Amino acid sequence: MVIENKAGESTHLFETLVNAEAPKINQALPEIIDVEELKPAELLVKFDSPLESTVTWAANGVTLEDSPKYRICTSEEESTLTIANLIKDDTEMTYTCTVKNAIGTADTSTMLSIQCKYPTIG
């Protein structure tokens, strides 16, 4: 778009998004996931985003990066967070997957619960 007046001219480009929607979570994380201590845990989220999107994982609001402890694998329709060698500290966090595009954001969260390997005596 070009706008002209006596003072000069200004040009602006606009991008039109037709039928664009915010991302949708198709398979959310359960509220609590039972896991085994010292084993890996895999958190899977499936989503739909008609536009290019970014996916982030966070623990207690802190963004996680791909590392030996946290493995993040994302495609156009799903994202997986694998947490290696679970310890009790890992269960004291809320894990959140956020999918964001130009229109909006969708997220889903879970907490981990370590299964007791041995029966309780008493």
pLDDT in tens, 62-84: 999 999 999 999 999 999 999 99
pLDDT at 70: 97
Measured CA angle at 95 (ends 94, 96), to 5 deg: 115
pLDDT at 115: 79
Q: Identify the CA nearest to 33 among candidates 20, 42, 22.
A: 42
* d(C-alpha 44, C-alpha 29), whole Å: 7
pLDDT at 21: 92
Q: Identify the CA nearest to 38 among candidates 92, 84, 80.
A: 84
* d(C-alpha 28, C-alpha 39), whole Å: 22
Residue 48 tokens read as: 């739909």
pTM, two decimals, is 0.80
pLDDT in tens, 38-59: 999 999 999 999 999 999 999 9
Which domains occur in the chain, in start order?
21-114 (2.60.40.10)
Counting residues of the chain whose pLDDT is more than 70, the rounded percentage is 86
CB 1 within 8 A of CB 11: yes
pLDDT in tens, 17-40: 566 899 999 999 999 999 999 999
Q: Look at residue 108 and give its three-state secondary structure.
A: strand
